[in-house]
A and B are shown apart, each in its own frame.
Chain A
Amino acid sequence: MPSLEETLAAHPFLAGLSPHHLQLIVPCASLVSLPADQTIFTEGDQARQLYLLRSGRVALSIHRPRRGQRTIYTLGAGDVLGMGWLDLPQQWFFDARTLEVTRAIALEADCLARLSEAQPELGYELLQRFVRVLLGKIKLLKLQLVDFYGS
């Protein structure tokens, strides 16, 4: 079985990170396996984790009174879930629920924040990666706005 450090290194989000930095992150990480149709978090709850998805699929949805859940995005292996803690008030903005059995690396947000304060070089490295993920998401959500399949 691969070590936690190897598992971390294998995830696209952390690919290319120096072994030293990876070692620093290991104490923040744990492996989780979630059954299908399980709520991972709910809008408004305190946001304390970052999930690096290794397999399975997760739906991000918004609840609409009288009309139920509306899924606006699904994530899969290699994707990053949950960045609500990056900004105040550190709450989740969506509901997240597994669509199938999902394996992920859970990273404690407080732990990452402390590390980044202490090691600005690692903090900068991580921030760059967050920005890249967020920009990618913004681009894709913009495409969803233009009636991609309409005419």
Chain B
Amino acid sequence: MLPRPFRVVQYRRELRDTFTLTLEPWDGPAEFSFRPGQFNMLYQLGAGEVPISISGDPARPGQLVHTIRAVGNVTGVLQRCRPGDVIGVRGPFGTPWPVAELVGRDLIILTGGLGLAPLRPVIYSVLANRPAYGNVEIIYGARSPQDLLYRRELERWRGRFDLRVHVTVDSAGADWHGNVGVVTTLIPRTRIDVLHAAALICGPGVMMRFAVQELMKKGLQPRDIYVSLERNMQCGLGLCGHCQLGPFFVCKDGPVFSYERIGPWFEKREV
């Protein structure tokens, strides 16, 4: 599968090591349809490819938005991209968050660190169809107030009457009036009907593990909990073998899994 050339139309610095690229197709169809939770392989000539989740609005398929943390060779090169540069895109790959299937339910959207990026399309979709859902609770954790991704957007969401946004950090200076403590402490504060609620979780493995425990303590069932997993992905097609987790190829059977399906593997070590 060949990359398609996309032009960088906006570079935005989010955090010290995190940035957002907005892309538009260089040629071919002017739209790029995707579903929340899917990812693309971004290709920079000379550096290679890297899997990055799509963090833009699915209702605006003319612009492809990726939030990237510069942690490696390819992401480091992508960080130097500026408007006008051309990069390659393959995708979209993977399973989406079950946004349409969850209509009518209460939602807990629980994320930590950069995990907010793959869930932002869910938030956009839910807000675009807000009356169709019950209570919506967003829980977001980061190391410090300086590490909060999409801070202005979070503040805007927090100002809405039809959404509860809980933000917490691991430690903060005196100017921080928000919560301090891990995200799991906020789960008991959510107002949901556990019989009709679903949780969508994305963050580092350790965070998801403890979040799942706390959600189950609250009464959610494994089938009502969805997680998005991260693995080494080099093809996106279920062929290169790197992203395997038990019988699954995370790139095509995931990255979004119901906990009912992935739980037994999620709990094993070094698989």
Please give the residue numbers on chain A whose beta carbons come within 8 Å of chain B beta carbons, in ascending order: 57, 59-61, 68-74, 76, 78, 99-100, 140, 143-144, 146-151
Interface magnitude class on chain B: 20 to 34
How many angstroms between the C-alpha atoms of A149 and B174 in the bound complex? Answer: 22
Please give the residue numbers on chain B whose beta carbons come within 8 Å of chain A beta carbons, in ascending order: 71, 112-115, 141-143, 147, 168, 170-174, 176-185, 188-189, 203-204, 206-207, 210
How many angstroms between the C-alpha atoms of A149 and B185 in the bound complex? Answer: 15
Contact: B174 with A71, CB < 8 Å?
yes
* Pairs across A and B, CB under 8 Å, 19 listed: A60-B180, A61-B174, A68-B173, A70-B171, A71-B171, A72-B180, A74-B179, A76-B189, A100-B177, A143-B182, A143-B184, A143-B210, A144-B171, A144-B181, A146-B206, A148-B183, A149-B203, A149-B204, A151-B204
Which of chain B's residues has its CB closest to A79's CB?
B185
Residues of A within 8 A of B206 (CB): 143, 146, 148
Residues of B within 8 A of A100 (CB): 177
How many angstroms between the C-alpha atoms of A56 and B10 in the bound complex? Answer: 41
Contact: B171 with A149, CB < 8 Å?
no
How many angstroms between the C-alpha atoms of A143 and B214 in the bound complex? Answer: 13
A70 to chain B, nearest CB (A): 6
Which of chain A's residues has its CB closest to B183's CB?
A148
Looking at A60, A78, A100, A146, the one whose CB has the most chain B CB atoms below 10 A away is A146
A57 touching B184 in the complex, CB below 8 Å, given contacts A71-B173, A71-B174, A150-B204 = no
A10 to chain B, nearest CB (A): 16
Q: Which 6 A-B pairs have the closest CB atoms?
A: A149-B113, A69-B174, A149-B112, A74-B180, A143-B182, A71-B180
How many angstroms between the C-alpha atoms of A150 and B183 in the bound complex? Answer: 13
Residues of A within 8 A of B114 (CB): 149
Looking at A70, A71, A76, A140, the one whose CB has the most chain B CB atoms below 10 A away is A71
Which of chain A's residues has its CB closest to B205's CB?
A151
A148 to chain B, nearest CB (A): 5
Query: Which one of B141, B173, B178 lies within 8 Å of A70 (CB-CB)?
Result: B173
How many angstroms between the C-alpha atoms of A133 and B260 in the bound complex? Answer: 31
